[in-house]
Amino acid sequence: MAQLNPGKLKLELFCKGIRIDESCHPENEGRALTKIRAGLGSGLELILPDDLYCNVPVLESFAKDSPFRLVAEDGAYYVNRGEERLCRARLAEKPRWYDARTSTGRPMTEIGSMQGTTLAFYPTEVCGFWKMEPRMNCRFCATGLNVSDAALPTVDEVVEVCRAARREGTTFCHFNAGYMGGSSLDVLKPYVEGVKKRTRLLVGVQAPPQKDLSKYDMMIDAGADHFSFCYEFHNPEVFARVCPGKQKYLGQKAFFDALEYTTEKMGKGRNSGEIIAGVEPLEDTFNAVDYITGVGAFPTICVFRPVVGTDMENEPSPKYEDMLRVYRRMYEACRDNSVPTGIAPNIKTSLVVLPYEGRYFRDGYSGADAAYALKLGILRRAFRVLYRAKLMFG
């Protein structure tokens, strides 16, 4: 088997998808294909070498022409490019709690789901942009197609799922809400508070920015460890065209204000600006990366996926060579701004290439790279000790 770079393979799989050979039956093993939230999680959860989780597109039309094939042989899975075998891969394991029910009798999968090693919840009604007439949803988004109309979970039910997931090694859970006027953080607060107090998991929050910035203080007090702000595009015209609801009711500035406010309060490397690469010109994506790292946050960069059923399903998937440039820039900007990444234990995200995976895109290995790697190593060890102590002693 040829030497391969698993980070670059993950990125190329995001751009090109994979075809599943007849020899494979992933529906009987691993996690079933699930359609969740904005749609990025609608692929096959694979684990590549180096334990890299990757949600690989399989349903989109571009994936049907992919040069990559998943093949099974003697009980093992392999990623092939054409006939060339690239590497062995595993299907992400189905957690035991996927077959369990809460004490109220609901399937736990109705409450939460795993994305890589992150436990994800969408405990609110569907995003308000999907309910407007005419619809004002972001054009790449599938949330309105995917969020079920099952009853919203109670805090107790969410805590039960967190406890079950924690027993299987989960360290981080993530709450997501769409547009709810100015109330999304108020709605999420009891969940964050309940989970933090009763499980001590690390808790992330992703919701449209609130103009009343004091609501972030409220969420930090409730136990939020991390906020991510999906402003999607740095180019104002692309933002307005692709995200009409965000343009009309929020505006780009609200995202910047909230990101800067929370980063100022919580410190470097705690929060993220989330963007989509492959729709706006590359220069704008570079500017986004520079802006986000410049304020001390880390960039979460999604490779644009033209998810089936969305308004952009017929758009092309981005070119791998362009995305390579984006992720190389991401790594260099994090390094040059000394943004800590990958510090918290066991957070392996399958939907994006995270900044801590940026090392795969390094161009050589300079003194600056070595100093950055050393700093991250020290922070990582220190945080792990602290995290274990918090789990044990509160």
Quick one: which of 143, 210, 285, 341 contacts ligand SF4 (CB under 6 A)?
143
Nearer residue to ligand SF4 within complex by CB, 127 or 188? 127
Residue 90, number of CB atoms within 10 A of its CB: 16
331 vs 341: CA distance, rounded Å: 10
Nearer residue to ligand SF4 within complex by CB, 208 or 299? 208
Nearer residue to ligand SF4 within complex by CB, 18 or 127? 127
Residue 223, number of CB atoms within 10 A of its CB: 20
Nearer residue to ligand SF4 within complex by CB, 178 or 194? 178
Nearest-approach distance from CB 213 to ligand SF4, in angstroms:
19
CA angle, residues 233, 263, 389, in degrees to nearest 5: 125
Helix (H, G, I), strand (E, B) or coil at 86: strand
Nearest-approach distance from CB 351 to ligand SF4, in angstroms:
13
Q: Per-residue x/- marks for ligand SF4, 70-109, CB under 6 A?
A: ----------------------------------------
Nearer residue to ligand SF4 within complex by CB, 113 or 170? 113
Return the bridge partners of 203, or none: 173
Quick one: which of 121, 179, 233, 298 contacts ligand SF4 (CB under 6 A)?
179
296 vs 12: CA distance, rounded Å: 28
Task: Please report, as residue ranges, which positions from 26 to 55 form the binding site for ligand SF4 (by CB under 6 A).
Answer: 38
Residue 50 tokens, joined: 């180096």
Residue 75 tokens, joined: 């009980």
| Binding-site size, ligand SF4 (CB under 6 A) | 10
Q: Are 364 and 324 in contact (CB under 8 A)?
A: no
Nearer residue to ligand SF4 within complex by CB, 174 or 348? 174
- Tokens 């986000």 map to which residue? 292
Q: Are 124 and 187 in contact (CB under 8 A)?
A: yes
Q: Are 208 and 250 in contact (CB under 8 A)?
A: yes
| Mode of pairing for the β-strands spanning 118-121 and 272-277 | unpaired
Lateral strand order in the sheet of 19-20 = 19-20, 68-73, 76-81, 84-91, 44-48, 52-56
Quick one: which of 178, 194, 204, 209 contacts ligand SF4 (CB under 6 A)?
178
Q: Per-residue x/- marks for ligand SF4, 109-138, CB under 6 A?
A: ------------------x-x-------xx
Backbone angles phi, psi at 282, to 5 degrees: -55, -40
Beta strands in 33-132 (DSSP E): 44-48, 52-56, 68-73, 76-81, 84-91, 113-115, 118-121
- Residue 227 binds to ligand SF4 (criterion: CB under 6 A): no
For 270-295, letters b (16+ CB in 10 Å) and e give bbbbbbbbbbbebebbbebbbbbbeb
Nearest-approach distance from CB 130 to ligand SF4, in angstroms:
6
Nearest-approach distance from CB 278 to ligand SF4, in angstroms:
16
- Residue 141 binds to ligand SF4 (criterion: CB under 6 A): yes
- Residue 229 binds to ligand SF4 (criterion: CB under 6 A): no
Nearest-approach distance from CB 178 to ligand SF4, in angstroms:
4
Nearest-approach distance from CB 207 to ligand SF4, in angstroms:
9
Nearer residue to ligand SF4 within complex by CB, 14 or 77? 14
Residue 260 tokens, joined: 């800067």
Between helix 320-336 and helix 282-294 the angle, nearest 10°, is: 20
Task: Please report, as residue ranges, which positions from 201 to 220 form the binding site for ligand SF4 (by CB under 6 A).
Answer: 208
Nearest-approach distance from CB 370 to ligand SF4, in angstroms:
39
Nearer residue to ligand SF4 within complex by CB, 66 or 252? 252
Nearer residue to ligand SF4 within complex by CB, 40 or 192? 40
Binding site for ligand SF4 (CB under 6 A): 38, 127, 129, 137-138, 141, 143, 178-179, 208
